[in-house]
Amino acid sequence: MNHPKSMVAEILILAVSGGVGASLALQLAEHGVGIAAIVCAVCAVVAAGVALAAQVGQGLRTTVYTCPAKGCRVSIRAAGTSPEELQRLRDLATDHSKHGSAR
């Protein structure tokens, strides 16, 4: 299943984190910081960007259905499923009589 929104968001986050890392490297170099410290700082910024991109991408690829019944805490999360399975999960989550005794 193709997810253009998540791909665009991930690419944008990675580009921004790369730009921030490069800017940080230049600023640190101007202040005479050693190369090892610069590499560590840039790697930390890029790693944080990669982790954020992965979380945002996963969130955009996940569908959540919750029961509309007051006080019911049933919630179903689905990712990478067929439209038929999504419909089945939606029906299960939104029809309180199908899961009313679940806790």
The structural domain count of the chain equals: 2
SS3 per residue for 16-51: HHHHHHHHHHHHHHHCCCCHHHHHHHHHHHHHHHHH
pTM beyond 0.75: no
9 plus 40 within the same structural domain = yes
Range of the domain at 88: 63-99
51 plus 68 within the same structural domain = no
pLDDT tens, residue by residue, 46-70: 999 999 999 999 888 899 999 998 8
13 plus 46 within the same structural domain = yes
46 plus 9 within the same structural domain = yes
